[in-house]
Chain A
């Protein structure tokens, strides 16, 4: 009977093969061990800090509300006779950030939704040198108004690696720094 077992096709490994296996397993382990934690990665330089500007905010309607006339109200079904009619579309929200008097960011966030009646959202990152900064943030949420509805100025000292979050919360008076 022919001996065609795998042992015949592949004779038991000799010392050189065993050594080769040890070396290859070792190199494999070394490669995984090394590249699973090396080289170290630094997301920011050691003397940098991060400012995150992020908010979601619903802008003001793009137009004024209008009082319906008696004839217009009469044409409406009785259950829909609201005395005023307001435009559904919302204003885009515009935000500007100055650092040390210089403008470093300006974003105009359009309202979301097919009818443009949703909130405007912003998420931006600003990498800045650590240290003291004079920050001015201006936010406008009404296309009918010329001035910014919300403003906030502050002097902050950012430690290396610190994250300063600029958010918007109308319930807390508008622009917040945290």
Chain B
């Protein structure tokens, strides 16, 4: 019997994939914003930082001048002030939304556990930094909304018996608020985002090529959208703060300030309990019972030539290069950190020693996956092609996390599902063709949708001579089909197979590819 949490996650994942599919139709998979949520969050942060620096230059850090200086932005020519202010506010909205969706997506994909535990645990505190920084931004303006938020926040803090005197007393009357208070505001609104940046560095430091900017087209689309929104629907101030009055009707930013109405509707203690329980739950998730971790990559020193390709391609910085034990000067050896290794096999696909053309009967490569070795793959490939009764057999290299290739129709199909498409050494394509295959289909996950971040990208680049190890140019393009098909995209995979089948049907056996000799 399945646990309810599992089925909830699975149902949610199905819904999420359906949503991603809808966005794919409009944006294409490579530019799908739902696959770049972390990078979109970074873009929002950069927008906040850039617009915030300019705003701070013109900001008057005094009780009397703060509101006036921000209000003066609306007088800037060409609507530049409105643009700047709107970008700053709405970038904060985007940051919160991107963060929330990023968190949801990662949880739905089960990314809180295993080797990703570090990323999850370092991400949880960032939620607090984002909200503290964002809420503090409203105080700086010192209008009625800022007054309401400041008082509400401090009254909420006072619900914890931490301080001898209530901090909300600092906002009892106008006389209690002085210019020095803005030092605190500045600390909250600038200091905390700096902490956030520091936390973000921790969050991504175990990632190779962490995406701190979304693809250019997506970035431009988002910035243009926010700019249009800022100009068409300007962010405006409320009346200046007046502590002798309760702000009446507020145009509340519900995305950033929802905690205040929630506190009013319930109680400060309830919201503290909610925040505490939520934080504890997020921190506890990676420690719940979970499936066993995948076996990690194993390096064979005798076959590692220290070329650094696995080091360059590992998506999780699990490989470092160390001096080779053979003590030859300058010779390096790959070393796998088991705590960081995802078990994706991308390193095996990058290893030049993984070529099946090597004459050794037992193919041992520089770095390999114990659960699915390149030797086993070569052996199975030979076996399948040798026993195929089809005149034009087709070989399919798929991915365990993408569209299922095992059920592809046709007696002419020999499917091999790999740990990741990136595990495939490109030379296997040529090897399959030389061994009798009429065509090879390589199925990777949708662009940007690789379970291991970079597998589909490295696969495409290796097969198109843009990355080492590359597929030799002697392999005819008509005999290779590459499909980007994620989980549930079996129809895409089938369509790709049909295209390949039609293409190779009229082709004669490739004279350029001499028949390979089987190894004993």
Contact = CB atoms under 8 A, between A and B. Distances in A.
- Which A-B residue pairs are the 6 nearest by beta carbons? A20-B26, A123-B166, A37-B251, A4-B464, A2-B477, A41-B252
A121 B94 contact: no
B519 interface: no
A42 interface: yes
Contacts of A125: 155
Nearest to B471: A2
Given A9-B482, A32-B229, A161 B26 contact: no
Given A10-B30, A25-B225, A49-B246, 4 more contacts: A35-B93, A56-B164, A113-B164, A121-B165
B164 A118 contact: yes
Given A1-B477, A36-B90, A123-B169, A41 B261 contact: yes
Interface stretch (A82-90, A139-147, A162-170): A162-170
B221 interface: yes
A163 B243 contact: yes
Contact of A6 (B166, B225, B447): B447
Interface in B232-268: 232-233, 235, 243-256, 260-261, 264
A3 B28 contact: no
A77 interface: no
A13 B484 CA distance: 16
The contact size tier of chain A is 35 or more
Given A41-B250, A44-B246, A163-B243, A2 B480 contact: yes
A95 to B, nearest CB: 14
B274 interface: no
B465 interface: yes
A3 B463 CA distance: 9
A3 B476 CA distance: 10
- Most chain B CB within 10 A, of A6, A39, A50, A112, is at A6
A38 B172 contact: no
Contacts of A13: 26-28
B489 to A, nearest CB: 12
Contacts of A39: 254
B158 interface: yes
Contacts of B480: 2, 4
Interface string A114-137: 000011011101000000000000
Given A2-B480, A112-B164, A121-B165, A17 B27 contact: yes
Contacts of B165: 56, 119, 121
B460 interface: yes
Contact of A162 (B94, B245, B247, B447): B245
Interface in A9-47: 9-10, 13, 17, 20-21, 23-26, 28-29, 32-33, 35-44, 46
B327 interface: no
A79 interface: no
B482 A36 contact: no
Given A6-B460, A21-B26, A119-B165, A41 B228 contact: no
Given A2-B475, A32-B90, A36-B235, A25 B158 contact: no
B290 interface: no
A69 interface: no
Nearest to B168: A123
Interface in B144-189: 148, 155, 158, 164-166, 168-169, 172-173
A178 B93 contact: no
Given A37-B251, A123-B166, A24 B26 contact: yes
A178 B176 CA distance: 13
B141 interface: no
Contacts of B252: 37, 40-41
A137 B243 CA distance: 22
B414 interface: no
Interface of B: 23, 25-30, 89-90, 93-94, 97, 148, 155, 158, 164-166, 168-169, 172-173, 221-222, 224-226, 228-229, 232-233, 235, 243-256, 260-261, 264, 447, 460, 463-465, 471, 473, 475, 477, 480, 482, 484
B474 to A, nearest CB: 10
Interface in A35-70: 35-44, 46, 49-50, 52, 54, 56
A19 B485 CA distance: 24
Interface string A67-80: 00000000000000
B464 A43 contact: no
B254 A42 contact: no
Nearest to A13: B28
Nearest to A112: B164
B164 A9 contact: no
A29 B226 contact: yes
A35 B250 CA distance: 12
B225 A50 contact: no
A8 B248 CA distance: 57
Contacts of A29: 225-226, 228-229
A29 B471 CA distance: 44
B245 A43 contact: no
A38 B255 CA distance: 10
Kindly name the residue among B158, B168, B233, B243 whose own CB sees the greatest number of chain A CB atoms within 10 A.
B233
Interface centre among A2, A26, A122 (most CB of B within 10 A): A2
Contact of A20 (B25, B169, B226): B25
Contact of B155 (A37, A46, A112, A123): A123
A38 B251 contact: yes
Nearest to A127: B246
Contacts of B225: 25-26, 28-29
Contacts of B172: 52, 54, 165, 167
